[in-house]
């Protein structure tokens, strides 16, 4: 099973999908991408992200604009607020 992430230029995850197999000629399962959007196919060695529930990928991960790889968000943004110090 392969995990795909659709994201915008800020690295925010817009959609996720897991597929067993893509039809020939398709690079990702999202159809057409809007301007400023891209898709990322997770590599098998990215086990933590590949095994995470898809909803958690939306809440807890983003795509680094610098590396075009999935990275975990800091804890304060995962909870939707900044932690008190």
What pLDDT does 62 receive?
A: 94
pLDDT band at 4 (very low <50, low <70, confident <90, very high): very high
Q: Which two tokens stand for residue 71?
A: 């990275």
Look up the pTM and report it: 0.81
Tens of pLDDT along 16-68?
999 998 889 999 999 999 999 999 999 887 888 888 899 988 889 999 988 98
* Sole residue written with tokens 């800091």: 74
Tens of pLDDT along 32-46?
999 999 999 998 878
Return the closest-CA partner of residue 69 out of 84, 50, 82.
50
Q: Provide the 3-class DSSP secondary structure of residue 10.
A: coil
What pLDDT does 81 receive?
A: 54
């Amino acid at each position: 099973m392969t995990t795909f992430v659709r994201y915008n230029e800020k690295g925010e995850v817009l959609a996720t999908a897991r597929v067993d197999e893509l039809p020939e000629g398709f690079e990702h399962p999202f159809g057409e991408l809007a301007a400023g959007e891209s898709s990322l196919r997770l590599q098998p060695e990215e086990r933590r992200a590949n095994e995470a529930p898809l909803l958690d990928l939306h809440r807890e991960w983003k795509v680094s604009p610098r590396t075009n790889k999935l990275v975990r968000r800091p804890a304060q943004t995962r909870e939707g607020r900044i932690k008190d110090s």
